Amino acid sequence: MAFHLAIPFPGPVYLIKHSTGIMKNTILVFGVMLFLHYKAFATWSIIMIDPETKEIGIAGASCSYNCYGIGEIVPGMGAVIVQAMSNNEARDKGIEMILAEASPELIILTLRDPAFDPEKQQYAVVTVKYFDNPRTYTGNATKSYNRSLTANGVSVQGNTLTNENELELILAAVQKGRNDFLHNYAC
């Protein structure tokens, strides 16, 4: 069962999609922290898989009016993000390939087909089966300060970012939150 929560704020719209409660709370707290800490003039997203429970969560923000359709979760399998000039057909193809248990590398390669207009897109794929091998792609026609970073079970990506170091801070916060949660949960 997937859950969708869109919280409109002046400017960006925050999105959380997840399969169960613990991941919802983790991503919701992280999203609120970012909202309180940063002025949002960027488009960014996060995919995270809990290595213990295999729960999958995504969060995102956009400087446009809506970011609801940028990502999709396949519960127990993985998630895909298609942002910048979001493309429903590319997202649907990513979901189809996650269901077929394709590797993130093959999914990204497929989404780079010119039919999906990849140079205006930013893609991210993280799966349970290939937990240690998340993949991303950022097209060369996306807005400045665009990039992505990955770690085991995590992908953070953005475009129209406020500075070059923004994603390092986001990835560090995600990893710290996940490590703190897992440490406290295990105790």
Per residue in 70-119, pLDDT tens?
899 999 999 999 988 888 999 999 999 999 999 999 999 999 999 999 99
DSSP for 2-55 reads: -EEEEEE-SS-EEEEEESSHHHHHHHHHHHHHHHHHS---SEEEEEEE-TTT--
pLDDT of residue 24: 60
CA distance 145 to 186: 38
DSSP annotation of 118: G
Q: Are strands 56-61 and 43-49 parallel, antiparallel or unpaired?
A: antiparallel
CA distance 97 to 22: 27
DSSP for 81-100 reads: EEEES--HHHHHHHHHHHHT
For the full predicted model, state whether its pTM sits above 0.85.
no
Type and span of the H or E element at 60: strand 56-61
Q: What is the CATH number that goes with domain 3-182?
A: 3.60.20.10
Q: What is the pLDDT of residues 128-170, one digit of tens each?
A: 999 999 999 999 988 878 889 999 999 999 888 888 788 898 8
pLDDT of residue 105: 98
- pLDDT range class, residue 16, cuts 50, 70, 90: very low
Q: Is the pLDDT of residue 43 over 70?
A: yes
pLDDT of residue 181: 65
